[in-house]
Structure 1
Amino acid sequence: MSIDRLAPALFVFLWSTGWIAAKFADQYADPLTFLALRYGTAAILFAAVALAAGVAFPKGGIDRVHALVSGMLLHGFYLGCVWWAIGQGVPAAISGIIAGLQPLMTAVAAHLMIDERLTAGQRAGLGLGFCGIAIAVLPNVLAGGAGSIPAFPAAVNVIGMVFVSVATVYQKKYLKTGDLRAVAALQYVGAFAVTLPAAWLLEPMHVSFGLGFFAVLAWSVVGISMGAVAVLLYLIRRGQVSRAASLIYLVPPLAALEALIAFGEPLTPAMIAGMVVTALGVWLVNRKGRAEPKETAPA
């Protein structure tokens, strides 16, 4: 099986484990503090890997700035907003619905920023994917009483989706070349530069060091920050931006399956139905014959 065929499934699995890791990490550290430690560790490891492999870091100052800014958006602001919102009381179900907005936002951002065009089938697939997420989580929201959801943290959660959507297109537009290991090292430096001050301002920066903490940190860094993000950057560089973003639709359903195994959380018929609808939507966006970005005439 070629890497192009394996990469989407690998990304979905690795990225989905972030929901499980976040639930475990909450037992050992404040969310932004944990993210700062995760980003700092990932930056050091990516830099070490890049140096050991002898790859060149971006030489131009503007290329380094683009890498730092994309890291601030893709990791710092995005996960910072989402983790803070959940810590402030936004239910996981609502966060799942909001996460389902990201591919739609990315499609809009791609159209505005790089004139990426979608076929009618792809647009239908994006809408169908969001409907699948809604089917999967909305019954739980209604059963729990949506009126108790804190408005401001929910808005911050939405802002997080805007950041990751813009970051995906920004990555496609400005970081088309360069070794992914070197680029990722700079991105995590940018993410660390955003998250550490936020943790210092908003949290007591509590950490309970121990085997459990280091186990979650190790997986968060190696499995997610390095593994999943490296695959995502590969997908963005190799394919269409909206196509890569549509894979996010598969993450909440898979995370639900993992939560069933890890924590015994129930998997309802609505969630199963939502998974089927979501998978169909992702297939529509990723099937052959997709539209390609419009080429810009040279100046």
Structure 2
Amino acid sequence: MKTELSSPHQLTTKVSRKELFIPWVFVLMWSSGAIFVELGLPYADPFTFLAYRFFIAAIIMWIISLKLKSKLPSTTFEWKAIISTGIFQQVGYQAFFFLALDFNISPGLLAIILGAQPIVTTVLSKGDTTKKQWIGLFSGMIGLILVVGHSLWEGSISILGVVWCLLSLGSITCGTFLQKNIKTSLPMNMSIQYTCSFLLFIIIAPFFGSFTVDWTSTFLMSLLWMVFIITVGATMLLYYMISKGNLTNVTSLFYCVPALTAILDYFIFGNTLGFTPIIGLGFIIMGLVMINQKNKEFKKTVAS
């Protein structure tokens, strides 16, 4: 029986559709995080919330790893790489993020500082970035400022608060670079990272509050959403994109998060969506198109 092989054009089309689908599903999922964190935090201290979140996520990922018979890392180097990535990408990023908010840094200022990640990543990666991509990066940054600018000065600006912001930015950037080099299977990688994150937050939590939780239906909905949609689903997509794609292209997706969160906030809570954020979203979309546009050499390779 003769089997027909897919043509290069068909394969390219399938890959292109997948490349378009995954990033926007990730952005939609990740953008919902701020909404559901806001719902859950009145019922538990931030680090307690994070401890429960990573505890449940770790159990889920270990079940998936066992089901798929994923192998444990075979070398000490792999173990160190995974644990280090978890400390930066999960614990450091989340902990410093909440500490910055605790020091009354406005969500707008925090979003802008964290929004520098694509630019910082591009500089550190020393890749072949075109002029059009650089314009796209700064267009996205302008769009981000327009989206969150209204809340820029809502909090007080303290030196320590800004330090926490910068440490959060540094943590997620370092974690992204470290994650790029991990070859262990994705479920096992996430299982180990989440177990380490849970253990660290259990140790940290008592210093920043209590383990007391008001187990309301709203808190449970918030916690389970953050576990299944963000910590398991969105992070799995993020790690997949990091392993397959260019770091500048992947991190540039975070420009969209505040804008889409504002849209979700409008539909869920009915908060006003101003004209300026809509203009900002236009700048972000224009920037993403420029950042992710394939260069001529790539097009020639595909065509051949």
Q: Which residue of 2 aligns with 1:227?
A: 233
Q: Name the CA distance, whole Å, in 2 between partners of 1:76 and 1:119.
A: 34
Check if 1:149 corresponds to 2:127.
no
The one of 273, 286, 303 aligned to 1:267: 273
Percent of pairs identical after alignment? 27
**Cα deviation per residue 1:117-137 (whole Å; 9 max; x = unaligned)?**
312211221111111111222
| Aligned pairs (5 A) from 1:8-19 | 8-19=23-34
**Cα deviation per residue 1:202-234 (whole Å; 9 max; x = unaligned)?**
223332113222211111011000000000001
Moved over 3 A (4+): none
| SS at structure 1 position matched to 2:42 | coil
Check if 1:125 corresponds to 2:144.
no
Paired AA for residue 228 in structure 1: A
Q: Name the CA distance, whole Å, in 1 between partners of 2:118 and 2:173.
A: 7
Check if 1:47 corresponds to 2:62.
yes
The answer to whether the 8 A contact 2:109-2:151 is kept is no
The answer to whether the 8 A contact 2:86-2:193 is kept is yes
TM-score for the superposition, normalised by structure 1: 0.89
The one of 78, 84, 87 aligned to 2:93: 78
Q: Name the CA distance, whole Å, in 1 between partners of 2:21 and 2:150.
A: 33
The one of 145, 168, 176 aligned to 1:168: 176
Q: Which residue of 1 aligns with 2:301?
A: none
| Aligned pairs (5 A) from 1:233-272 | 233-272=239-278
The answer to whether the 8 A contact 1:12-1:248 is kept is yes
Check if 1:105 corresponds to 2:109.
no
Count matched residues: 283
Q: Name the CA distance, whole Å, in 1 between partners of 2:48 and 2:32.
A: 19
**Cα deviation per residue 1:90-140 (whole Å; 9 max; x = unaligned)?**
2222222122112112222323xxxx3312211221111111111222244
The answer to whether the 8 A contact 2:176-2:242 is kept is yes
| Aligned pairs (5 A) from 1:268-287 | 268-287=274-293
Larger Rg: 2
Q: Which runs of 5+ in 1 are unaligned?
A: 293-299
Q: Name the CA distance, whole Å, in 2 between partners of 1:78 and 1:160.
A: 4
Q: Which runs of 5+ in 2 are unaligned?
A: 1-13, 299-304
Deviation at 1:66, TM superposition (A): 0.8
The one of 137, 145, 148 aligned to 1:137: 148
The one of 28, 31, 40 aligned to 2:43: 28
Deviation at 1:290, TM superposition (A): 8.5
Q: Name the CA distance, whole Å, in 1 between partners of 2:297 and 2:34.
A: 32
Q: Name the CA distance, whole Å, in 2 between partners of 1:18 and 1:273.
A: 23
